[in-house]
Structure 1
Amino acid sequence: MAELRIELLGGFRVTLGSRAVPDEAWRRRKPAALVKLLALAPGHRLQREQVMDALWPELDPGAAAANLRKALHHARRALGPDEGARLIASVGELLRLPCEGLRVDVDAFRTAVAGARRTGDLDEYTQAIDLYGEGLLPEDRYEDWVVARGEELRLELLAVLEELAEALRQYEQLREALAAGLGTEPSPETQRLYEEVRAKQASEPELSAELWERVGDLRVLSGDAGGAAKAYGSALEAASTVDAVGLHRKIAGAWLVQHDADRAEPHLEAAEELTADAAERGRLACLRANQAWERGELERAQRFAEDALEVAQSNGDPDDVAAAHEALAVVSHLRGDWRRGMELEIERLAADGDRSAQLARVFDIHHCIGQYHLYGDGLADDVEDYARRTLAIAQQAEAVRAQAFAWCLLGESLLLRAHWEEAAGCLERSCELHDSLGTPTAALPWQRLGELAVCRGTPDDADAFLRRASAIATVSPMAKHLWGRIHATAAFASLERGDPETAAGSVRAAAAAAARYGDCPSCSALLNPMAAEAFAGLGDRDGARAHAEAAAGVAGFFDSSAWRAMAQSAAASAAAADGEPVRAAEHFEAAAELYERAGQPYWAERSRTQAGNAQGTRAS
């Protein structure tokens, strides 16, 4: 009898003997959810009513029972026509997995935890940690029936780590292994978990000022600016011997990340009163620039940013220099002079060298700003020429990171204009240059290569590119600019494969990433039309409508033909979900015209095809 193996930690996978059940077999979410619920249940058995309450709480018993019968049928079929009924048995009102020949990784994790506690063996502790991986069902972590179970497992892991005096050494080993093997750091979640363990936060809530500050730093890394401000405030309160200047500065920075210039003000004032250190005053000048542009005072912001750069170059460290360059990039964009500002910046970088890893985030900001030019009316037409000019300046200056940026921008422009071969060459060259820098930077060219693969009709080829982009985004301080576009491209690939359910999963993953890291509306603009299309394909009217409204909001904020085209496309999908094919066709036609105006022929043609399909639905 073949062993049934079900993996839930790090993602859902099912293997029967030597045969892995393909992901395509689980395209429907509810049959997969049924198997997951049974695998998590004590004894791997549940009453039908328990399953219905978990998966269809909003339905009356008759409708929920009908849905369960369908889900059970499809789950059994996924496991195999000969084995399905045995593997998911129905005994009266009870559904159960087999008593023998079953292995579930959650059970293995709990067994490893128990063994490690019993023996104290380091290898067994390591085995338990390795089994936990990325946690329970990351693709479903916000489903109601997963949340409590996921938190329970996470607390088990935390308890294990707290028992280990050697946990700190293991973290450093993990860090070294990642650096050696992948050139990355542990994820922000892993770093935060490590900090909780090191501080014994669960059992010793009274942390020292230094540890509260470290907690704040880790929360910044994970995109939790509000939590960071609170942690830094606790550090100020915990002791009088801390670096009050640095903490006030960090609190101000956390508030500015949340666009709250007024709440940053008292902390900026306090820091300025407490310090005469030149480097620290340069850091404060950089934050004053941020505060000024939040208030719309662009001339003042420019002066502060220039002062910050001058002080950083003479008294600061590489991070200070990078932060000042980043501030200048933002100010030049807000003043409508980004292109000239970019050229001047390349010249400045040429004098100092642009290989510093700290400057990677500066060019990530430039990539974000570049989206306005690629998709903006009156700007997109000459992006290709501008990218070529920028590339020539960067090559003359021997500024490698600037060259990588220019190759990517050129590739993006060619991609949007459907010049596939040229776009591929430029994006690949950008990736090569980034690799030569030896740091995990610039997810954008990898993501665009994935998008290019889908546009060329080979969506399966996108997966490898998106995995590379995801690895970079995981450790990037610019994560909020990256995850939305990565998940949007993954959804796009699934839709082109005819798989709206997997596409919807990518949309949900994007929402989870946005909750954790924040979101950039311009960088993730493609997500809303892809999301609306995915939910329409599943008959989810509310989901399609919500993303159509979100797309309209982005188009209202960034007024251009391309963003309006995305809003029209999303509105078309919402109309299709509402059963209104005439209105759907009209919106798709409007999207096609706007994409034509924006100079994006692939998307124009795709929208026309969708309009024709909608009209065909009407005819039938």
Structure 2
Amino acid sequence: MDVDVQLLGRFRVTVDGRTTTETDWRRSRSVTLVKLLALAPRHRLHREQVMEALWPDLAPEAAAANLRKAVHFARQTLQASEVIGLNGEALSLAPDAKLTIDLERYEAAATAALKNKDAAACAALAPQYGGELLPDDRYAEWTQEPRERLQALHVQVLKGAGLWQEVLKVDPIDQEAARALMQAALEAGNRGEAIRLFQALRERLRIDMGLGPDRATVALYEKAVTPGDTAPKSIDEHVRGLMAWGIIHLHSGDFREAERKAQEARSLALAGELGREIGEASALVGLVAHMQGQWQTLFRSEFVKWVRQPLPAAGNVFDGHLCLAEFCLCNARGHADMANLSRELLTIAEDVGSVHGRALATLILGKAALFSGRLDEAEELLTRADELHAQAGALVGRALALHRLAEVALARGQRWKAGRLLQKGLNIAEQTWLTPHLLIRYTALAVEAATDIDQVAEAIRHGDRLIAEESTCQPCSMGFRVASAIALAEAGEIDQAGRRIDEAERIAGMWQGGPWVAAVWEARGVLRRAQGNNGLASALLHEAAARFGDLARIRDQERCLARAQGL
């Protein structure tokens, strides 16, 4: 018997010329059993390993019964009783057949080509890579290690062949590939392409990792924008170079030099009337101060300085500080400190007649009230903030105010109103330079505001597309990741929910001090409830409630306690 298994790009099994695809399987656990065995060392697993992977929350007797059914249906679907072998306590895939698996063929050939440093072999092998390992099981935990291992191997093959453009398709933040393509563009006299490559890399690094390009990449960029001894071709190119160096200095701990680069970048951006760059440079100025525990002091001085300046420059500066303002509202002390500071700033703005200053201070006060659970006060302040931002023509502030007003509506169970606010705010968010931050936040609320399973599914698909295709801010994606995990757990999609929670937990660990660790605990509690483990679910939800309570997030605390009591 000949058995050929395809795992790359799609799942397909061919037995003696008869091909069975993913859609031919009527029982999901039977197909998963075959996939597990195909990935296992020597294609053998102890029955307890299989039961733990497929039915971790069932009693041994029930899991064993399910395993027997999975073996039966796998044999039936593939029309071959020998395809799943049983030898004592071990299960094996096609033990007496000629078994070939595309993943193993590719790994063996790739390892040999790389060991021999054979560029021609790597070039010939690259097209044979069939695609992502088991794409329909992207969120299954047991696929993660082999998927990551295989992707890393494929990237090395592409590098061995010098296929740098293909490397960036697989890993858009690979700086070695970006530099190779930039250097090739410069040698061909195409400075514009080198600059474009740098800008694309810089954007993805900033969004995905909160980092900037390394020194070697920035130095190559400066060669592109400063040919010979001439000045940079344009102000915006010079600003981007300064920002890149500023981020390098920030992460190396040289705060003084990081601030100097950020201030210089902002001055140039102001001279060139580059709105987005003004905002990004202001955000870097704020981040440098935040890393030294001095952001609130800086923000006050920035507000006092810029509240007297004309729009739109002042608005761009304020927009650059909004994320840090929200971060500082994430703990109990931050609520009080930021509220007190915002009242002071509101008085200053009223004294100088600044609509934009009043709008910003009112927005922060509204968020503080919302996070503290004072919904009536939050709605009044956020509605006023929306009106003031509309009067000032400040789109970012309006988008944030409407987003929080939708949260108020959801907290009151007014899904219809939340949906209306979301649509209004989304139309505004799409017009701003903070789109990578705002769209995924709105999608998170769309998941929570959905009124039926079809709307939930569509919102989740949209969020997944944003994360996969757009330069979406990772911290801002946390709300969507948690909301989608909870929705999927409640719909019985346990594997997908678990994988999303794992990814959310990884990102939460990178951004300490906010509410996301508590949110992950809540999501795990909902997942355990969906798995029927009410005791553990209750413990997790009470832990989430306690963590939200420590942050004075009263509304979130009450929701977790209500979930626990509902058990």
Question: How has the CA–CA distance of structure 1 residues 351 and 461 changed in structure 2, closer, same or farther, with 3 Å as cutoff?
Answer: closer
Question: Paired residue for 1:441, among 396, 400, 425?
Answer: 396
Question: How has the CA–CA distance of structure 1 residues 316 and 518 changed in structure 2, closer, same or farther, with 3 Å as cutoff?
Answer: closer
Who is 2:304 aligned against?
A: 347
Write the distance in 1 (CA, Å) between the matches of 2:305 and 2:281: 12
Deviates more, 1:459-468 or 1:555-564: 555-564
- Aligned residue for 1:441, secondary structure, equals helix
Write the distance in 2 (CA, Å) between the matches of 1:241 and 1:563: 44
Question: How has the CA–CA distance of structure 1 residues 61 and 255 changed in structure 2, closer, same or farther, with 3 Å as cutoff?
Answer: closer
Write the distance in 1 (CA, Å) between the matches of 2:230 and 2:25: 59
Q: Are 1:527 and 2:483 counterparts?
A: no
Write the distance in 2 (CA, Å) between the matches of 1:283 and 1:605: 45
- Structure 2 unaligned segments of length 5 or more: list them: 1-19, 32-134, 137-171
| Identical-pair percentage | 24
Who is 2:444 aligned against?
A: 488
Shift of 1:500: 5.1
Q: Are 1:335 and 2:292 counterparts?
A: yes
Write the distance in 2 (CA, Å) between the matches of 1:249 and 1:348: 33
Q: Are 1:475 and 2:434 counterparts?
A: no
Write the distance in 2 (CA, Å) between the matches of 1:514 and 1:359: 31
Question: How has the CA–CA distance of structure 1 residues 470 and 229 changed in structure 2, closer, same or farther, with 3 Å as cutoff?
Answer: farther
Question: Paired residue for 1:466, among 422, 429, 443?
Answer: 422
Question: Paired residue for 2:558, among 605, 609, 614?
Answer: 605
Who is 1:510 aligned against?
A: 463
Question: How has the CA–CA distance of structure 1 residues 504 and 584 changed in structure 2, closer, same or farther, with 3 Å as cutoff?
Answer: farther
Q: Are 1:456 and 2:412 counterparts?
A: yes
Write the distance in 2 (CA, Å) between the matches of 1:61 and 1:481: 36
Who is 2:107 aligned against?
A: none
1:83-122 deviations in Å (ceiling 9; x for gaps): xxxxxxxxxxxxxxxxxxxxxxxxxxxxxxxxxxxxxxxx
Who is 1:419 aligned against?
A: 374
Shift of 1:611: 0.7
Aligned length: 400
Who is 2:246 aligned against?
A: 289
- Residue 327 of structure 1 aligns with an amino acid whose one-letter code is L
- Residue 376 of structure 2 aligns with an amino acid whose one-letter code is E
Write the distance in 1 (CA, Å) between the matches of 2:525 and 2:447: 17
Write the distance in 2 (CA, Å) between the matches of 1:232 and 1:407: 48
- Aligned residue for 2:509, secondary structure, equals helix
Question: How has the CA–CA distance of structure 1 residues 546 and 363 changed in structure 2, closer, same or farther, with 3 Å as cutoff?
Answer: farther
Q: Are 1:577 and 2:530 counterparts?
A: yes
1:47-83 deviations in Å (ceiling 9; x for gaps): xxxxx978x555349999xxxxxxxxxxxxxxxxxxx
1:328-386 deviations in Å (ceiling 9; x for gaps): 22322333222122222223323431x21x66554444222223212136433422222
Write the distance in 1 (CA, Å) between the matches of 2:353 and 2:184: 44
1:544-591 deviations in Å (ceiling 9; x for gaps): 212322333244233347333212101101212222111111111112
Question: How has the CA–CA distance of structure 1 residues 562 and 326 changed in structure 2, closer, same or farther, with 3 Å as cutoff?
Answer: closer
Write the distance in 2 (CA, Å) between the matches of 1:458 and 1:337: 39
Question: How has the CA–CA distance of structure 1 residues 236 and 255 changed in structure 2, closer, same or farther, with 3 Å as cutoff?
Answer: farther
- Aligned residue for 1:379, secondary structure, equals helix
In angstroms, what is the RMSD of aligned CA positions?
A: 3.7
TM-score of the two chains, using structure 1 as the length reference? 0.57
- Residue 405 of structure 1 aligns with an amino acid whose one-letter code is L
8 Å Cα contact 1:552-1:567 kept in structure 2: yes
Matches within 5 A, 1:82-121: none
Write the distance in 1 (CA, Å) between the matches of 2:361 and 2:261: 27
Shift of 1:311: 4.4
8 Å Cα contact 1:253-1:264 kept in structure 2: no
1:170-221 deviations in Å (ceiling 9; x for gaps): xxxxxxxxxxxxxxxxxxxxxxxxxxxxxxxxxxxxxxxxxxxxxxxxxxxx
- Residue 405 of structure 2 aligns with an amino acid whose one-letter code is L
Write the distance in 2 (CA, Å) between the matches of 1:482 and 1:559: 21
Who is 1:391 aligned against?
A: 346
Question: How has the CA–CA distance of structure 1 residues 576 and 502 changed in structure 2, closer, same or farther, with 3 Å as cutoff?
Answer: farther
8 Å Cα contact 1:487-1:510 kept in structure 2: yes
Question: Paired residue for 2:330, among 361, 375, 381?
Answer: 375
Question: How has the CA–CA distance of structure 1 residues 57 and 505 changed in structure 2, closer, same or farther, with 3 Å as cutoff?
Answer: farther
Question: How has the CA–CA distance of structure 1 residues 608 and 225 changed in structure 2, closer, same or farther, with 3 Å as cutoff?
Answer: same
Shift of 1:253: 4.2
Q: Choose between structure 1 and 2 for higher RCO, CA contacts under 8 A separated by at least 6 residues.
A: 2
Write the distance in 2 (CA, Å) between the matches of 1:243 and 1:398: 45
